[in-house]
Amino acid sequence: MELLLPALLTIITAATPLLFAAIGEMITEKSGVLNLGVEGMMVMGAITGFVVVHYTGSATLAVLASVIAGALMAALFALLILTFHASQVPTGLALTIFGIGLSALIGQSMIGIAYNGIPKISIPLLSSIPVVGKLLFQHDFLVYLSIVMVLLVYLFLSKTRAGLILRAVGDSHDAAHAMGYSVIRIRFMATLFGGGMAGLGGAYLSLSYSPLWVEQMTAGRGWIALALVVFATWRPWRVLLGAYLFGGISILQLHAQAMGIGIPSQVMSMLPYLATIVVLVIISRDLTKIRLNSPASLGRPFHPSR
């Protein structure tokens, strides 16, 4: 138990930024928009949150600033693809490159500065339960928020009229437009939400997971979040399970090295990305399941004048 409990705790912390980014991207893709700029939005959220907490000392303001930063990046993407009809795939890739470069420029003076981290919240009574209390009820508010967001997204998609409209736009934007719904506005708002959640995932990295700033500290987590959406077949509860699965793979390297397993650290560092490739290859073999679960209009441009 002395070895297992710390491992489970690190899995939770490693999964949280993936969960934020993936649940936001899932909503974006449910509207029919494929945003490959998750990595860029996450890293911008990370540097924005760290800069704000450094100068204000307020973690709350830092988290809000990170959400805004991610949403602004997403707004730029949405403007290009929805208003100027740019191709979604290269525009998303460009957004990632832009975010990585801009964050490195902004964060030049932040390198080497540490932050104490977001304080943990111990839920009364529940946190005193042996083992389970420390595992589930002694985390910072962002960990709790990630679970709440999964529940809210599930309820939004399955229980609300707005969620039904969002899914209708993603499945057939022409039919939704014919019924009088503003496809552009709905996709714009969904993209903003995805950007805000990606920024929130970045904030968790720089404010809690490793409270400091390092260039490209997202380290490919945005790409893993994209794969998680496909792995989860666009279902919120599967995103939750997938995030914790990939979080466990991510921290496996640390515990393997601590246990003295004689595998090169470089090989262990490859595991999360290797697992991502393997999962995508396995899923892609069942094209029928992908077609049944993926939004039919995903990645397709919408031209209301046509």
**pLDDT tens track for 108-130:** 999 889 898 898 888 888 888 88
CA proximity to 44, closest of 230, 197, 268: 197
Q: What is the mean pLDDT of residues 250-271?
A: 70
**pLDDT tens track for 77-95:** 999 999 999 999 999 999 9
Helix (H, G, I), strand (E, B) or coil at 114: strand
| pTM, rounded to two decimals | 0.92
The pLDDT value recorded for residue 292 is 72
The pLDDT value recorded for residue 255 is 67
For the 4-293 domain, the top CATH level (class) is mainly alpha
The pLDDT value recorded for residue 246 is 86
Longest CA span, the chain: 64
Distance CA 291, CA 171 (A): 11
Q: What is the mean pLDDT of residues 184-195?
A: 97
Q: Are 195 and 24 in contact (CB under 8 A)?
A: yes
Identity at 57, one-letter amino acid code: G
Q: Which helix (H) or strand (E) holds 138?
A: strand 138-139
Q: Where are the domains of the chain?
A: 4-293
Which are the contacts of 106, defined by CB distance < 8 A and separation ≥ 6? 47, 48, 51
Distance CA 25, CA 14 (A): 18
Query: With bands split at pLDDT 50, 70 and 90, how would you rate the model's confidence at 181?
Result: very high
Q: What is the mean pLDDT of residues 268-282?
A: 77
The pLDDT value recorded for residue 54 is 94
Query: What tokens appear for 226 in the block?
Result: 């994209």
The pLDDT value recorded for residue 258 is 64
Q: Are 130 and 1 in contact (CB under 8 A)?
A: no
How many residues are given for the chain?
306
Query: With bands split at pLDDT 50, 70 and 90, how would you rate the model's confidence at 202?
Result: very high
DSSP for 153-187, please give it: HHHHHHH-HHHHHHHHHHH-HHHHHHTT--HHHHH
Q: How many CA atoms lie within 13 A of 71 on its CB side?
A: 14
Q: What is the mean pLDDT of residues 49-71?
A: 96
pLDDT over 70, % of the chain = 93
The pLDDT value recorded for residue 3 is 66
